[in-house]
Structure 1
Amino acid sequence: MTSDTLSGKKAKSPRNGGDQLLEVDDRLFLQSVARALYVLEAFGRDARPMSLSEIAASARITKSAAQRAAQTLLSLGYLERSSDGGLLPGRRLLDRAFDYLRSNPLIERATPILIELRKNSGERVDFSLFDDLSILYAIRLQSKRETFFATLAGRRIPTFCSSGGRSMLAHLDDAAIDDILRRSERKALTPKTITDLDKIWDKVREARREGYAYAVEESLLGEVVLSAAVLDDRRQPVAAVHIAGSLSEWTVDDFRKRFAPLAIEAARALSY
């Protein structure tokens, strides 16, 4: 085994959200590749120009390893220098995001359905992918009022406190739900985020009964969001359709009555 592979233990990734790692044959795990990705992932925790020392500390690698990885990424365009000399994610990363989005058949199928849903609802419409402890927004069709970073494609939020996450949890068995909730950090994103385990279970059971989940100001203050799960051919959740509105324009009950049927219909159209 070369020094470029891990010996005997599975690597610990500092990936944002703490999602469960896949089991990998350690003989095939390239440590140098992992270090480069850890450098990129450091920016997921701090959206500003960073020094090599800051990157090394965030990525949990040595400064010399961070320097080698950063220089390689800089030369390839995956990192760029800011005006003050710090490092930032590079534009080349958008190319890889484009590659993923256009190669995912579910996202391709979802796009026209979400465009029609956005037209019919007049509200922001999102499409998220299930990724264990978090959900990942792949499509976000904006409305008239937005909070910039919170409504960008590529944002992750915890499964336990999102309407999309709970709508997908509702289609898992109790043991799988319990496993995800107990591995989740359950940190509040806003003062309204539900973090109590029993109360989260109540929301998941409600989603099972109603066929959709909703969240009020749990990830963004002033916002109500409801979601319905997209299921695969084994009836397992893979994604969710979201509709988000403002509490300055809607009561929670009126929002649910108006948009829950639309979200459920769109999710059913995408299930396969």
Structure 2
Amino acid sequence: MPSILRADPPEAINSQAKDDRLFVRAAGRAMLVLGAFHQAGGPLSLTEIATRANIDRSAAQRLVHTLMTLGYIRRSADDRGYLPGLRLLDHTLDLLRLDPVVQKATPVLLELRKTIRERVDFSLYDETRLIYALRMQSKRETFYATLVGHSVPTYCTAGGRAVLSALPEPEARTILARSLLHPYTAHTQTDPEAVMEAIAQARRDGFAMVVDEFVLGEIAIGIAITRRDGRPLGAIHVAGSQSEWTPDDFIRQAAPVAIEAGRAITDSL
């Protein structure tokens, strides 16, 4: 599974808050502590949390204690470190059940999944990345590919390019300039002009297609979901295996129904 993009690092958050009189620094530091678990491979020690959150150990100790008391951090089973607490899932549920786009998308994607019988995902747009909010799996998925909350870059994924195609070209270029154009596979396109051409093609076609650029052996189609004014909110992703599909066959079978699903969601907003 490719590495996961996460929210801005502590340095970026601290910089944003520097001159903001309404910003509550204590609340911000608590979020930094929770964010310390991004990319962690297991439980974290207090020192590791302090380092990752870019705060001193004393502040980390107080914040971890507070968050443990509230149920947002817990001790690991072997009592050698800390893990996110179960009550964080309450907030995940709140986001998913209250977000109007997710509400409208869910029944449409369930029907799309029945029709195409391949993996169907729905993501929400967050500038240089997309965050998966709904995941409807096919028969061959790994554990990590089933998790809500994973995020992927916009520049080399079908959903990402579809979203960028809904933006004015100068804005799409700005997003690319802010992105780390990392080669996830030997086929990942990292040349900005080539990516912009792929985005332009997606704008002409009404969908984006990516083969082997983010996951080897995968063919993916992306459809942008937009507001009434055309601004992108997220994307539908439909993915299949090259062992079962040629790119042309996948386009013929998946693109029309995915475009129809995207139109249905957009029209309902």
Name the TM-score, length of structure 1 as normaliser.
0.89
- Aligned equivalent of 2:56: 62
Q: Distance in 1 between matches of 2:16 and 2:257?
A: 35
- Aligned equivalent of 1:136: 131
Q: Distance in 2 between matches of 1:24 and 1:138?
A: 31
Higher relative contact order (CA 8 A, sep 6+): 2
Q: 2:122 aligns with which of 123, 127, 152?
A: 127
Structure 1 residue matching 2:239: 3-state secondary structure: strand
Q: Distance in 1 between matches of 2:258 and 2:17?
A: 35
Q: Distance in 2 between matches of 1:96 and 1:24?
A: 27
8 Å CA contact 1:167, 1:213 repeated in 2: yes
Q: 1:245 aligns with which of 232, 240, 248?
A: 240
Q: 2:165 aligns with which of 147, 163, 170?
A: 170
Q: Distance in 1 between matches of 2:18 and 2:92?
A: 24
- Aligned equivalent of 1:111: 106
Letter in 2 for 1:235: G
8 Å CA contact 2:17, 2:23 repeated in 1: no
Q: Distance in 2 between matches of 1:188 and 1:39?
A: 30
Letter in 2 for 1:37: M
1:191-202 alignment runs, 5 A limit: 191-202=186-197
Instruction: For residues 139-197 of structure 1, give each alpha carbon's deviation from its aligned partner in whole angstroms, at most 9, with x where no partner exists.
Output: 00111010221331111111112111110111111110111000111123333322221
Q: Structure 2, unaligned stretches of length 5 or more?
A: 1-6
Aligned length: 259
Q: Distance in 2 between matches of 1:51 and 1:231?
A: 42
Q: Distance in 1 between matches of 2:68 and 2:214?
A: 33
Q: CA offset at residue 232 of structure 1?
A: 0.6
1:42-61 alignment runs, 5 A limit: 42-61=36-55
Which range moved further: 130-139 or 194-203?
194-203
Q: Structure 1, unaligned stretches of length 5 or more?
A: 1-11
Structure 2 residue matching 1:187: 3-state secondary structure: coil
Instruction: For residues 50-71 of structure 1, give each alpha carbon's deviation from its aligned partner in whole angstroms, at most 9, with x where no partner exists.
Output: 1111111111111212211111
- Aligned equivalent of 2:259: 264
Q: CA offset at residue 13 of structure 1?
A: 4.7
Q: Distance in 1 between matches of 2:42 and 2:132?
A: 21
- Aligned equivalent of 1:39: 33
Identity of aligned residues (%): 48
Q: Distance in 1 between matches of 2:147 and 2:154?
A: 17
8 Å CA contact 1:13, 1:38 repeated in 2: no
Distance 1:23 1:67, change over 3 A: closer
Q: Distance in 1 between matches of 2:243 and 2:158?
A: 19
8 Å CA contact 2:44, 2:83 repeated in 1: yes
Q: Distance in 2 between matches of 1:58 and 1:22?
A: 18
8 Å CA contact 1:166, 1:203 repeated in 2: yes
Distance 1:209 1:24, change over 3 A: farther
Structure 2 residue matching 1:43: 3-state secondary structure: coil
Letter in 1 for 2:76: S
- Aligned equivalent of 2:142: 147
Query: What's the RMSD between the two structures over aligned residues?
Result: 2.2
- Aligned equivalent of 1:102: 97
